[in-house]
A and B are shown apart, each in its own frame.
Chain A
Amino acid sequence: MATLILEDGSRFEGTLFGHKAAAAGEVVFTTGMIGYQEVVTDPSYAGQIVCMTYPLIGNVGINDLDFQSAGAHMKGMVVSELCDLPSNWQTKDSLESYLDAQGVTALYGVDTRALTRHIRAVGAIRGMIVEGEGTQEDIDALKALKVENPTMDVTCREAYEAGEGDVTVALLDMGTTRAVVNSLTKRGCRVKVYPADTAAEEILAAGCDGVFVSGGPGDPAALPAVIENVKKLMDAKPTMGVCMGHLLMARAMGGNTVRMSYGHHGGNQPVKDIARGTCVVTSQSHLYLVDKDNLPVNAEVSHINWNDRTIAGLRYTDRAAFSVQFVPDGGKCPSGTHYLYDAFIAGLKK
């Protein structure tokens, strides 16, 4: 028996699987029903313990095609039922052995709905997966736990290039997913991917037509140096930002970001594009958002989360720059958000 113990003393019992050692982090829930491999390997979840609201996890195992980054970045995973016989033609490994290899501690047999409802009530909260029942010392340790910004753990170690084309995009890697890079290369971009701490001058000196600030984990306020760089990049080049990139751009332009109670995590967040008048379903995972009351003066709201009416996208009026709080899908879905990439690249070609 093992336990997910939270800093408020709540306990959720389960059985350990994956890497069988204690692990601590912020506990969030994600509501996607399909695609746990993408969640496990999405750097946005770095440092967090992720509760899957869908109860049957592991059904298709782990395959070679669906990794969103080089490995798993989450601290821990909490599921209701772990599948004992993965079944899909692409299955290469089981979730259990993959998490073990990646050093991710996980629990199954947990009342995930009760945990989700608890997080909904108290907000994202620090927690720890431990063997046994969990002790007062564990709670004390959790209270003292400092949630470090994991950006430098998930950004690329060195700059690299992907794709070929007549348009060059400099991508500031805050912990990007492969899907985003692919969406750009697929559209004929040469993408130069830079580590998060690369100086703006270096990026600009290397030459590019536009800048893309990627998504990634953590609190944007904890990254003042990056924000400074983003400002310089935005002053110099047309810029698009997604997720964390969206938040960094808002801060760079003088806006503020705030922490949400439990954030948006899942694949079904409805977002309204004000200019187009359309409503689209988006995939999001963030705990912070742009403060409605402290917008950058040069920004106007372009997208709104239609569930809670929070800001989901900004357009800058004095420059070629825009950002959204979600990952635009790269496919050709008619009600998708791929048009954002198209608009960005079209702007660069002008």
Chain B
Amino acid sequence: MPKKEWIKKVLVIGSGPIVIGQAAEFDYAGTQACRVLKEEGIEVVLVNSNPATIMTDTSIADKVYLEPLTLESMEKIIARERPDSLLASLGGQTGLNMAMELDEKGILEKYNVQLLGTKIDSIRRAEDREDFKNSMIEIGEPCIDSVIVHDVQSSVDFANEVGYPVIVRPAYTLGGTGGGIAEDEKQLREICADGLRSSRVHENLIERSVAGWKEIEYEVIRDGAGNSIVVCNMENMDPVGVHTGDSIVVAPTQTLRLEEHEMLRTSALSIIEALGIEGGCNVQYALDPNSMKYYLIEVNPRVSRSSALASKATGYPIAKVTTRIALGYNLDEIENGVTGCTYACAEPTIDYVVLKFPRWPFDKFVYADKHIGTKMKATGEIMSIGNTFESAMLKAVRSLEMGMDSLVVPALEALSDEEIEHRLHEINTERSFVVAEALRRGVTMEHIHDITKIDLWFLKKVLNIVSTEQKLRALPGKEALTYDLLLAVKKMGMADKAIARFVGCEEGEIRAMRKEMSILPAFRLVDTCAGEFDAVSPYFYSVYGTKTESFNTGKKTVVVLGSGPIRIGQGIEFDYCSVHCVWALKKAGFDTVIINNNPETVSTDFDTADRLYFEPLTPEDVWNVLEIEQPVGVVCQFGGQTAIKLAKAVRQAGYPILGTDLADIDAAEDRELFNALLNKLGIPQPKGTTVFTADEAVAAANELGYPVLVRPSYVLGGQGMEIAYDEKHIREYMQIINMNIQEHPILVDKYLLGREIEVDAICDGENVLIPGIMEHIERAGIHSGDSISVYPPQHLAPRIQRMVTDYTINIARSLHVKGLVNIQFIEYAGDLYIIEVNPRSSRTVPYISKVTGIPIVELGVRASLGESVPAMGFGTGLYPPAPTVAVKMPVFSFEKLPEVEVSLGPEMKSTGEALGLAETAEEAYLKGFASTKMAIPKPEEGGVLFAIANHDKREALALAETFAALGFEIYATGGTAHMLNHNYVGAHSVPRPGEDTDALAKLFDSGKIRLIITTPTHGRDPLRAGFRLRRMAVEYGIACVTSIDTAKLLMKCVKLGKKESEIPALGLHELIL
């Protein structure tokens, strides 16, 4: 069927801030969708509160609303824009839920908006457990014995009938929030209660557990005419029981026979037919490893994380095809952009192995619970491609950037055999490495299989890697490495660095040997068709033992290093920067190349750069690409710390770095050099020193005076950073920091409790443009990524703003910055101090680009190519501030991460961000809170609970007074209650966790508490009462604010007395001056 011609204006819903379970994959999907719509000449109205996305660029959509994804705000926008249709299946669960709500509330009907793609009824049938089950029974598809419950007792009754273990799955949540496996009644009661709370409709599915079965996924796509194909099938190495987002996944399936595949393929296609899906859909199965029995686990009637993976794994652009289907096209009318000669109705076939490895945040949350189950905990993932499982696995491990280059984990090597055996029983983020360690010690595959249920096929592959390690370790030295052995080891995917360590020499020696023996990597194409046709937009992966199919077009090439997996501290912002960098370079006439390994992103879309290399971002892997591509320049400043860390290796290999010189990067990152620079410029910074040992740190702190800020140099996202108030803290943090070997010294600085200020600037080596100054709401000490940031600044004296401008210009010039620089300041007692200079693109670049209308990345690229800043047309110095106010608010995923401290500190904890954009600051704050799902409290909805650390009590008093005056009931714990009552603020005294946890739980359950304001005492002991209070707040879904400054801001919004619906929607397209 050809395109539906009546579609002229489409509203696209994005997925909002990045949280665990909903990450960059929806920026990729949404961006593809918008581009298709524009290609078709359709006007695109986009709503997404996440400013770090590419889809919210005014070049991607015609009208961009960085507005809250709430019913009120959606209705405002629909009323204003009057789109004829809505595309919601590319905005993740958020988009789908929003479409359903808009339909339920009659808003779609009221404004005559058609939902494109899968119909509402079909979505409901797939999403509603009961409807879904009935539809499946009708077509004879087996669902697991299950029951839908709305209370805990019913779940216990069911479990008594079918037997334990049972799985709890809450309805309408993302990433399996609130779910879990219960082994007994006690666990079931806990998990069930938790699940009911997190479900939008207060509903849980309780089902018989098939933990240990094979978990198989099918990515399927169907058009409006009923044509359907399988895009990709995938097998989880971790059997059923671990959320697929936390599983190691391979594509295609490896241990299935054709009959088994045909059975599940038929099932998947029957299901999307029965549900009437129009577009991409994900179907997950549990397959009995010992029979043809299978059960459906889940159907996602939309583009998902798995579909992003399937798209990148096969080259089949699911989101694009889904959008075209929504417009009315059929699969046989949609061209395959990779081959240029086949159509979307051909099932992709691949001739390599794809492996996805999750990236968890536990390098930051060292005390958190690392077990994985039905609740997803990973913040991101990487994908690797190899022609063997072993090479894909080893590439994956390198891509994670966890400091590993093999399956060897020193901490596990140090454990006893008993401990390893014990750990095999634990299903946690380390399991694959524990398995490798067990195999290394001679534990049999059969024994490991009995415990873990991991298929023997996978275990044998891991054993192959381990045996090769041991073969290398047994060699007398590198001289014993023969050509055949070295080639075999490289074919297996082992890094030079790992080989060197196993045989006892330097990485460079292995590299030299390889070159001498002509053991060189070659690059193969991903072409969707296993070589059957010539491909036009392919991408590449490395293999050994063959010839390169990569090509050089003869044009001048620039290589852009990407930012790897999404993790706390390095999120989607850096993909935004990398992609814009590529676009700017293309505009300047270069052939562009991207190296990246994150399948969720726009940067790894096959038509972003001219050539894409799906490879780990390590020196060896990057050198390999550079040798093939022979670029005229390499860009390291847009891919976050991942890319900047590679600058030295790039330079070493003799390739020019575009932009700021390596020596100048060092001058900013190296403490001694940086101090010297600031001294020369006469710019003050908090006093500090560098140390290596705990003793040195304690001595330094005593000299500076507590509190002090302790952190490693060369970090991103405040990794291992902490404020220490006494010697005990210092010793504790030094121990954590030193868990990873530190190549660089550790910084100990005097901690100033002032106002933080941040700028991003563009410099051509001489002239500097500052698009805007951002002011942080929370005082220094809370990581800049976790602070609420407002532009233009609301509380900065003109004198301070001038100083910020002058310091920025002086520093950028002195560092000879060519491109971007990010500088953080503290205003303390009327003075301005520098705390950090990052000679690269930062997390705030997308946000500040959008609200100032200055294409910062493009200008940065042009500056690094030698263009002068004044010639760019935006002037120099501080750019005039916008007439609107933009607030960037952090978004957290604490409910997904049990045992993680909720209070904020110098170590970053947020997973994403949302924007509030309005004419006034208060309105912008209010929108920002709405975007982060922090609804402004009203006195009639419940009271405010205070639990305040001693050093904050004075300020909290004023806050409590105001809340009380506004009519809120005030509750407070022990000392805080005493203090408030003593000062004539009537407060109900409530027990602290540990004193009477049950009473507190009852209070939380009653709904009487609407907001908790709790500031932390020092330390991160999980047993502390404050820690447990905050965790309880998260688990009961009660808003929890952990900084007095945030609470004050919230108070301002309460006082404003406006509803979200009263504040007009403001489009980004209206801001551009």
Q: Give chain A's interface residues, CB within 8 Å of chain B.
A: 29, 31-35, 37-38, 53-56, 59-60, 63, 65-66, 80-81, 83-90, 111-114, 116-117, 120, 266-270, 272, 277-281, 306-307, 329, 331-336
Contacts of A336 in B (CB 8 A): 266
State the CA gap A63–B262 with chains docked (Å): 16
| Bound-state Cα–Cα, A269 to B259, Å | 19
Q: Is the CB of A268 within 8 A of B343?
A: no
User: Nearest chain-B residue to A63 (Cβ)?
Assistant: B257
Q: Nearest Cβ in chain A — how far from B183, in angstroms?
A: 26
Q: Which residues of A contact B530 (CB under 8 A)?
A: 31, 53-54, 113, 116, 266
A113 to B532, CA, bound (A): 10
Contact, CB under 8 Å: B289 / A331 = no
Interface contact A307-B261, CB-CB below 8 Å:
no
Q: What 7 additional pairs, Cβ within 8 angstroms, besides A29-B531, A53-B349?
A: A32-B349, A88-B255, A113-B530, A120-B531, A281-B345, A306-B342, A306-B343
Contact yes or no, B388 A332, CB < 8 A: no
Inter-chain contact B545/A111, CB cutoff 8 Å = yes
Say which residue of A38, A55, A120, A267 sits within 8 Å of B353 (CB atoms): A55
Q: Are the CB atoms of A279 and B349 closer together than 8 Å?
A: no
Establish whether residues A266 and B532, one from each chain, have CB atoms under 8 Å apart when the complex forms.
yes
Cβ 8 A contact of A114, one of B226, B352, B547 = B547
Residues of A within 8 A of B353 (CB): 55-56
B138 → chain A, closest Cβ, in Å?
A: 14
**B270 in contact with A332 (CB, 8 Å):** yes
Contact B289 A89 (CB under 8 A): yes
**Would A59 and B254 be within 8 Å (CB), given that A31-B529, A53-B531, A278-B225 are in contact?**
yes
Report whether B352 and A55 are in contact in the complex, using a CB–CB cutoff of 8 Å.
Answer: yes
**Interface assignment of B229: CB less than 8 Å from any CB of chain A:** yes
**Chain A residues near B290 (CB, 8 Å)?**
89
CB <8 Å contact, B349 and A85? no
Residues of B within 8 A of A33 (CB): 252, 349-350
In contact, B351 and A65 (Cβ under 8 angstroms): no
- The answer to whether A84 touches B266, judged by C-beta atoms less than 8 angstroms apart, is no
Cβ–Cβ contact B269 & A334, under 8 A: yes
- Name the residue of chain A whose CB is nearest to the CB of B455: A87
Q: Which residues of A contact B346 (CB under 8 A)?
A: 268-270, 281, 306-307
Give Cα A55 to B225, complex, Å.
35
**Do B341 and A307 touch (CB < 8 A)?**
yes
Look across to chain A and name the residue whose beta carbon is closest to the beta carbon of B257.
Answer: A60
Mask for B433-468, Cβ within 8 A of A = 1, else 0?
000000000000000000000011100100010000
A56-B389, A84-B460 in contact; A66/B258 too (CB < 8 A)?
yes
A329 to B230, CA, bound (A): 15
Decide if B258 touches A80 in the complex (CB within 8 Å): no
Q: Is the CB of A56 within 8 A of B262?
A: no
Q: Mark B222-249, 1 if CB is under 8 A from A, else 0.
A: 1001111110000000000000000000
Are A266 and B349 interface neighbours, CB within 8 A?
yes
9 smallest beta-carbon distances between A and B, as pairs = A35-B258, A87-B457, A53-B530, A268-B347, A279-B332, A85-B460, A279-B345, A334-B273, A116-B531
Q: What would be 25 A-B contacts, judged by CB atoms less than 8 Å apart?
A: A29-B531, A31-B349, A31-B529, A34-B257, A34-B261, A37-B257, A38-B258, A53-B532, A55-B351, A56-B389, A59-B255, A83-B457, A84-B464, A88-B257, A116-B531, A266-B349, A267-B347, A267-B349, A277-B225, A278-B225, A278-B227, A279-B331, A331-B266, A334-B228, A335-B269
| In the complex, residue of chain A having the shortest beta-carbon distance to the beta carbon of B449 | A87
**CA distance in complex: A269, B532 (Å):** 11
Contact assessment for B348 and A112 in the assembled complex, using a CB-CB cutoff below 8 Å: no
A90 and B225 form a contact (CB under 8 A): no
| Binary CB contact string for chain B from 195 to 226 against chain A (1 if under 8 A, 0 otherwise) | 00000000000000000000000000010011
Q: B531 to A117, Cβ gap below 8 A?
A: yes
Q: How far is the CA of A30 from the CA of B225 in the complex (A)?
A: 30
Known interface pairs A120-B532, A280-B227, A336-B266. Does A113 touch B524 (Cβ–Cβ under 8 Å)? Answer: yes
Which chain B residue has the least Cβ–Cβ distance from A59?
Answer: B254
Indicate with 1 or 0, residue by residue over B310-334, a CB within 8 angstroms of chain A CB atoms.
Answer: 0000000000000000000011100
Is residue B265 contacting chain A, with contact meaning CB distance below 8 A?
yes
Q: Is B253 interfacial (CB 8 A cutoff)?
A: yes
Chain B 536-550 residues near chain A, CB threshold 8 A: 545-547, 549
Q: B345–A270 contact, CB under 8 A?
A: yes
The one of A80, A87, A278 that contacts B255, using a Cβ cutoff of 8 Å? A87
Q: Is the CB of A34 within 8 A of B258?
A: yes
Complex partner residue of B348 from A87, A268, A329, A331, CB under 8 angstroms? A268
Cβ contacts under 8 Å, B981 to chain A: none
Q: Does B553 contact A (CB under 8 A)?
A: no
- Take A54-B530, A266-B349, A270-B345 as given contacts and tell me if A333 and B256 are in contact as well, using a CB distance cutoff of 8 Å: no
The distance in angstroms between the C-alpha atoms of A334 and B530, with both chains bound, is: 26
B230's closest neighbor in chain A, by CB? A281
Nearest-CB residue, chain A, relative to B352? A55
Least CB distance, A231 to chain B, in whole angstroms:
34
Question: Does B868 belong to the interface (CB within 8 Å)?
Answer: no
Q: For residue B343, which residues in chain A have a CB less than 8 angstroms away from its CB?
A: 270, 279, 306-307
CB neighbours of B351 from chain A (8 A): 31, 53-55, 112-113, 116
Alpha-carbon distance between A251 and B217 when the two chains are bound, in angstroms = 44
Contact of B273 among A53, A55, A272, A335 (CB under 8 A): A335
Residues of chain B with a CB closer than 8 A to A332's CB: 266, 270
CA–CA, A89 and B291, complex, Å:
7
Min CB–CB distance B278 → chain A (angstroms): 14
* B349 adjacent to A90 (CB under 8 Å): no
Q: Would B226 and A278 count as touching, CB distance under 8 A?
A: yes
Q: Is the pair A281, B258 in contact by a Cβ cutoff of 8 Å?
A: no
Do A333 and B270 have beta carbons less than 8 Å apart?
A: yes
With known contacts A113-B351, A113-B531, A56–B254 Cβ distance under 8 A = yes
With A80-B387, A89-B290, A268-B346 in contact, do A279 and B227 touch (Cβ < 8 Å)?
Answer: yes
**What 0/1 pattern do residues 264 to 295 of B give for CB contact below 8 A with A?**
01100110010000000000000001110000
Residues of chain B within 8 A of A306, CB atoms compared: 332, 342-343, 345-346
A269 to B342, CA, bound (A): 10
| Residue ID in chain A nearest B232 by CB atoms | A33
Please name all residues of chain A whose beta carbon is closer than 8 Å to the beta carbon of B545 when the two chains form the complex. 111
> Using Cβ atoms and an 8 Å threshold, which residues of chain A touch B291?
89
Nearest CB of chain A from residue B633's CB, rounded to whole Å: 31
Complex CA gap A80/B524 in Å reads 14
Tell me which of B228, B265, B349, B532 has the highest count of chain A C-beta atoms within 10 A of its own C-beta: B532
Q: Which residues 375-395 of B have a CB within 8 angstroms of A?
A: 387-389
By a CB distance below 8 angstroms, the chain A residues around B341 are 307
In the complex, A112 Cα to B352 Cα: how many Å?
A: 11
How near does chain A come to B967, taking the closest CB pair, in angstroms? 60
List residues of chain B with CB within 8 A of the CB of A34. Answer: 252-253, 256-258, 261
How far apart sit A130 and B247, CA to CA, in the bound complex (Å)? 43
Chain A contacts for B460, CB-based, 8 A:
84-85, 87
Nearest Cβ in chain B — how far from A89, in angstroms? 5
Q: Which residues of A contact B345 (CB under 8 A)?
A: 270, 272, 279, 281, 306
The closest CB in chain B to the CB of A271 belongs to: B345
Q: A34-B252, A37-B258, A332-B270 are in contact. Are A281 and B332 (CB under 8 A)?
A: no
Find out whether the CB atom of B261 lies under 8 angstroms from the CB atom of A35: yes
Once bound together, how far apart are the Cα atoms of A32 and B257, in whole Å?
Answer: 12
Query: When the two chains form their complex, are residues A281 and B229 in contact, meaning their CB atoms are under 8 A apart?
Result: yes
Residues of A within 8 A of B547 (CB): 114
Please report the C-alpha to C-alpha distance between residue A33 and residue B289 in the assembled complex, in whole angstroms: 20
CA distance A309 to B99 in the complex (A): 40
Contacts of A85 in B (CB 8 A): 456-457, 460
| Shortest beta-carbon distance from B343 to chain A in Å | 5
Is B258 a contact partner of A270 (Cβ separation < 8 A)?
Answer: no
Residues of chain B contacted by A277 (CB below 8 angstroms)? 225
B539 to chain A, nearest CB (A): 15
Q: A117: which B residues are within 8 A, CB to CB?
A: 531, 549
A278 to B345, CA, bound (A): 10
A33 to chain B, nearest CB (A): 5
Q: Which residues of A contact B533 (CB under 8 A)?
A: 120, 307
A122 and B252 CA atoms in complex are apart in Å by: 29
Q: How far is the CA of A87 from the CA of B459 in the complex (A)?
A: 11
